Amino acid sequence: MVSIPGFILRRLYVKGSLRNTDSGFEFQILNKLGSGQARRLLPLTVDGDDLPLEDCAFHLEGEKISFQEVSKEKPFAMALNKATLISARDITLSEGSHTIGMAFEVGGFGVLKFDFVDTV
């Protein structure tokens, strides 16, 4: 199975987009790598700690979709050059630098993961 290194996947993250919200935090990813579909999303991580899967969601064309809802039948599609908002509820990030991790399973590639460091 072919794998894509994390340093390449890190290009998905829109630098400077990490911010707190009234309900948690959010950031954006922008797919500049090529169209694809994830058939499973794993929990986001903050500074090495997994967040509950049910607290993680993505927002696409005005619709909020929980990471739990993603499956082979309802994949997380990443269109080329299209931004997607990723959010986590019930956690507020302290001021300063944080490492956020994201992982997903893609057919033919297995589990792909990357992390990024940004400041709130």
pLDDT confidence of residue 82 = 87
Element (H, E) at 25: strand 24-30
In a domain, 117, yes or no: no
Number of domains within the chain: 1
In a domain, 115, yes or no: no
Quick: pLDDT tens for 52-68. Answer: 999 999 998 889 999 99
pLDDT confidence of residue 9 = 95
C-alpha 110/C-alpha 69 separation (Å) is 18
pLDDT confidence of residue 35 = 80
**pLDDT averaged over every residue in the chain:** 94
In a domain, 118, yes or no: no
Residue 34 CB partners (closer than 8 Å, separation 6+) = 80
Residue 61 CB partners (closer than 8 Å, separation 6+) = none
In a domain, 46, yes or no: yes
- Domain of residue 80, residue span: 6-91+98-109
In a domain, 1, yes or no: no
In a domain, 120, yes or no: no
In a domain, 74, yes or no: yes
Quick: pLDDT tens for 49-106. Answer: 999 999 999 998 889 999 999 999 999 988 889 899 999 999 999 999 999 999 999 9
In a domain, 119, yes or no: no
Task: Tell me the CA end-to-end span of the chain in Å, nearest whole number.
Answer: 36
C-alpha 104/C-alpha 101 separation (Å) is 11
